[in-house]
Structure 1
Amino acid sequence: MHSVKSTEVNSPETLSPRPAPPDFFPFYIVPGISNFRDIGGWPSATGQIRKGILYRGSDTNRVQPDGIVKLQGLGIKTDFDLRSKQQIEKTGGYKEIDGIERKWTPVFNDEQYTEEAARKRYELYAGEGADGIVEAFVEILTSGAQMFGTVLRQIIATVPTPTDSDMRTAPALFMHCTTGNNRTGVFIALLLLLLDVPTELVVNDYTLSEQGLAPTRHINVDRLLKKGAFEEYGPDEARRKCERMVGARAESMLALVEEVDRRWGGPKGYFKQEVGLGNAEVQKLRDILIVPAPSVG
Structure 2
Amino acid sequence: MLSTQPAETQPPSNPPDPPSRPPHPSYSPFHPIPGLSNFRDIGGWPTTRPHTSIRTGILFRGSDTNRITPAGISKLHDLGIETDFDLRSAQQIEKTGGYREMEGIERRWTPVFVEGEYTEEKARRRYELYASEGVEGIVKAFVEILTAGAEMFRTVLRHLLATVPAPGFENPVPALFMHCTTGNNRTGVFISLLLLLLGVPVESVVEEYALSEEGLAPTRHVNVERLLKKGAFEKYGPEKAREKCERMVGARPESMRALIAEVEKKWGGAEGYFRGIVGLKQEEIEGLKNVLIVTDDGPR
Normalised by the length of structure 1, the TM-score is 0.93
Segment of structure 1 superposing worse, 15-24 or 96-105:
15-24
Distance 1:97 1:182 in 2: 24
Per-residue deviation, 1:189: 0.1
Q: Which one of the candidate residues 102, 114, 117 is aligned to 1:112?
A: 117
Q: Which one of the candidate residues 15, 32, 35 is aligned to 1:32?
A: 35
Q: Which one of the candidate residues 150, 172, 178 is aligned to 2:181?
A: 178
Distance 2:110 2:22 in 1: 32
Q: Could you say which residue in structure 2 is the equivalent of 1:8?
A: none
After superposition, residues 122-161 of structure 1 pair within 5 angstroms as 122-161=127-166
Q: Could you say which residue in structure 2 is the equivalent of 1:292?
A: 295
Distance 2:297 2:22 in 1: 32
Q: Could you say which residue in structure 2 is the equivalent of 1:224?
A: 227
After superposition, residues 48-127 of structure 1 pair within 5 angstroms as 48-127=53-132
Residue by residue over 1:171-216, the C-alpha shift from the partner in whole angstroms, topping out at 9 and shown as x without a partner, is 0000000000000000000000000000000000000000000000
* 2:274 pairs with 1:271: yes
Instruction: Report if aligned partners of 1:43, 1:293 keep a CA contact under 8 Å in 2.
Output: no
Normalised by the length of structure 2, the TM-score is 0.92
**Which ranges of 4 or more aligned residues in structure 1 deviate by more than 6 Å?**
none
Instruction: Report if aligned partners of 1:41, 1:48 keep a CA contact under 8 Å in 2.
Output: yes
Distance 1:63 1:125 in 2: 26
> For residues 12 and 180 of structure 1, do their structure 2 counterparts lie closer, same or farther at Cα, with a shift above 3 Å needed?
farther
SS at match of 2:107: strand
Per-residue deviation, 1:45: 1.8
**Aligned residue type for 1:185:** G
Distance 1:42 1:167 in 2: 22
Distance 1:276 1:211 in 2: 33
**Aligned residue type for 2:41:** D
SS at match of 1:120: helix
* 2:242 pairs with 1:239: yes
**Aligned residue type for 1:174:** F
SS at match of 1:55: strand
Per-residue deviation, 1:16: 4.8
**Aligned residue type for 2:221:** H
Q: Which one of the candidate residues 42, 45, 53 is aligned to 2:45?
A: 42
Q: Could you say which residue in structure 1 is the equivalent of 2:206?
A: 203
**Aligned residue type for 1:50:** R
- Kindly report the root-mean-square deviation, in angstroms, between the aligned alpha carbons of the 2 structures: 1.4
Q: Which has the larger radius of gyration?
A: 2
**Aligned residue type for 1:231:** E
Number of aligned positions between the proteins: 283
Distance 1:121 1:293 in 2: 42
Residue by residue over 1:12-62, the C-alpha shift from the partner in whole angstroms, topping out at 9 and shown as x without a partner, is 945651000000000000000100000000001231000000000000000
* 2:217 pairs with 1:214: yes
**Aligned residue type for 2:158:** R
Identity level (%): 66
Residue by residue over 1:80-120, the C-alpha shift from the partner in whole angstroms, topping out at 9 and shown as x without a partner, is 00000000000010011111000000000111000010000
SS at match of 2:29: coil
Distance 2:106 2:70 in 1: 17
Q: Could you say which residue in structure 2 is the equivalent of 1:3?
A: none
SS at match of 1:69: helix
Distance 1:25 1:197 in 2: 17
SS at match of 1:169: coil
Where in structure 1 are there 5+ consecutive unaligned residues?
1-10
Distance 1:43 1:167 in 2: 23
**Aligned residue type for 1:39:** I
Distance 2:148 2:192 in 1: 16
SS at match of 2:108: strand
**Aligned residue type for 1:124:** L
SS at match of 1:107: coil
Instruction: Report if aligned partners of 1:229, 1:242 keep a CA contact under 8 Å in 2.
Output: yes
